[in-house]
Amino acid sequence: MTQPLHFGVGINNFGSPLRTASDVIGSAVLAEELGYSSVWFGDHLSFHVPVYECLSMMAATAVVTRKVTVASGVLLGVLRHPAWVAKSVATIDALSEGRVLVGLGVGGENRAEFGLAGVPLAERGRRTTELMRSLREMWLADNPHGLQPPPVQSRIPLWHGGRADAALARTARFGDGWLGAFVTPERYAERWSALGSLAADAGRAPEELTPGLHVYIRVDDDADRAWREASAFIGDVYAIDPEPMRRYCIAGNADQCAEEIAAFVEAGVTHVICRIAGSDLEDQMARIMEVAARVRARFEPAVTTEEMA
């Protein structure tokens, strides 16, 4: 492959029991120290477990880190007014000195939060399309709405999750990256190819889009124990039978996890966002970086002394 591999980590700002907010932010700081390129926070207004608000956690992280990209994965932007989303993100971009990335999703896992926000569930797709169009406009330095100050970045990266054709069409028109989730490597490759065609139809070069993967992962020397603990966590968070999720999660020892991630890299992924299936983030973040080293050794050519000179 010609593109370098990037590993980000989902900082679980949710759970039962819920860690203190300062502990969550501390995990983000540690992620930067360990060498992750990005940290991601989830978003729900209400859910099966307690959740800290996504943009607030991003803002707090922005002021205590220096290099890592601060991202939402994924923000349910339709539960908020578009102008406030634009304003809040621009402010976080200023706090981070230009390190914000916005991942958006349509949501729908919890109908109750849409009712709580006064947003019709059936309109979430249309509203997400409009939100992406509006954000692009409102983040312009000379935007017609008088929204000031503009973001530090000339173009805040806007990624979109979702596997459906409508989600891919939104990404092709307005996005900078696709955040594939709950897919097999084969499904990822098929959807990524479809996205490239849609981008071309929209008059954009497919190379303008970044291929990202958002995946639950747990690393353990005992592969069976890895899945048992991952499934317990996923079942608790989503209030579901986790067994059908097995094919969409990565759980096993370091070599097994590296092989599974490698399959996604071969399918086109360059940015791997690891959502830790468990509450022991510090231990798992270190283990995942060992996995990342194995994957990089396989795909990234070694730099010789002559090349470094």
Question: Residues 53-95: pLDDT tens digits?
Answer: 999 999 999 999 999 999 999 999 999 999 999 999 999 999 9
The domain of 190 spans 6-299
The total number of structural domains in the chain stands at 1
Query: Does 144 map to a domain?
Result: yes
Range 286-289, long-range pairs (CB < 8 A, 24+ positions): 286/34, 287/219, 287/220, 287/254, 288/7, 288/9, 288/217, 288/219, 288/257, 289/7, 289/34, 289/35, 289/36
The CATH number of the domain where 292 resides is what?
A: 3.20.20.30
Query: Does 307 map to a domain?
Result: no
Residue 130 burial class via C-beta count within 10 angstroms: exposed 0-12, middle 13-18, buried 19 and up: middle
Q: Quick one: pLDDT at residue 304?
A: 40
Contacts of 154 (CB under 8 A, 6+ apart): none
Whether the pLDDT of residue 251 is over 60: the answer is: yes
Question: Residues 171-221: pLDDT tens digits?
Answer: 999 999 999 999 999 999 999 999 999 999 999 999 999 999 999 999 999
This prediction's pTM: 0.95
Query: Does 274 map to a domain?
Result: yes
Average of per-residue pLDDT values in the chain: 95
Query: Does 308 map to a domain?
Result: no
User: Among positive and negative, which fits the CA dihedral 182, 185, 189, 190?
Assistant: negative
Q: Which of 277, 57, 268 lies closest to 178 in space, CA to CA?
A: 268
Query: Does 225 map to a domain?
Result: yes
Share of the chain above pLDDT 70, in %: 97
Q: Quick one: pLDDT at residue 302?
A: 60
- End-to-end CA distance of the chain, in Å? 23
Query: Does 157 map to a domain?
Result: yes
DSSP letter at 16 equals S
Spatial distance between the Cα atoms of 158 and 179, rounded to a whole number of angstroms: 10
- State the pLDDT confidence band at 1, using cuts at 50, 70 and 90: low
If you count them, how many residues does the chain have?
Answer: 309
Query: Does 304 map to a domain?
Result: no
Query: Does 246 map to a domain?
Result: yes
Instruction: Please give the full DSSP string across 257-282, using - where no structure is assigned.
Output: HHHHHHHHHHTT--EEEEEESSS-HH
- State the pLDDT confidence band at 127, using cuts at 50, 70 and 90: very high
Helix (H, G, I), strand (E, B) or coil at 160: strand
